[in-house]
Amino acid sequence: MLDKFIALDEDKYCFVYQLINAVGATNVVEAGTSFGVSTIYLALATARTKAATGKTGTVIATEKEPQKVAIAQGYWRECGVTEHIDIRVGDQLETLKQDVPEVDLLLLDIWSALALPTLKTILHKLRHGAVVLADNTISGAEGYKDLLSFLRAPDSGFQKMTLPYTNGFEMSVYLPSGHV
């Protein structure tokens, strides 16, 4: 899949940009960076939020393929967002185990089989009210079966809904009981 240019659809990344600004997200994790196009919008949105609030934060971007990372970094330099991105190269189930701040938003734009393991890897880092987004949950419903079952479980701490975007876009808000 080294030649596949994978990114969110334009309407989805516009939504995510607005959502990041609306909820004041400064720490975002993108699981599945590919060539870094969606990462640009995440970085621009978090930079705007950081400037408005004075908070610190970063976009933690994950990608397994070093060749894709090299191309993504070129795009990020061109757009002037490199300073807002912490790229983690390798198996995200390992790279997300360390040095992850409290997470405001998680974007799961990865192979569906990795979505639930990735969520579980950083679940303990999600802040109360954190947003979890998963792309292609209608067109890839079979592959997302485990993730969607987990999110729908009454004791999961998530309130979720499928947004009306092409191929499905799942939005879940983390509201675990016992936390304010």
pLDDT tens across 10-59, in order? 889 899 999 999 999 999 999 999 999 999 999 999 999 999 999 999 99
The rounded distance, in Å, linking the Cα atoms of 139 and 64 is 24
Asked if 93 contacts 110 with a C-beta cutoff of 8 angstroms, the reply is no
Asked if 36 contacts 67 with a C-beta cutoff of 8 angstroms, the reply is no
Distances, alpha carbon 46 to alpha carbons 15, 18, 23, 107, 117, in Å: 14, 10, 10, 13, 25
**Which helix H or strand E contains 33, and what residues bound it?**
none
pTM over 0.85: yes
CATH for 10-134+147-174 is 3.40.50.150
pLDDT tens across 101-160, in order? 999 999 998 889 999 999 999 999 999 999 999 999 988 889 999 999 999 999 999 999
In the chain, the amino acid numbered 172 is: S
Spans of all domains in the chain: 10-134+147-174
The rounded distance, in Å, linking the Cα atoms of 50 and 44 is 10
pLDDT number for residue 9: 80
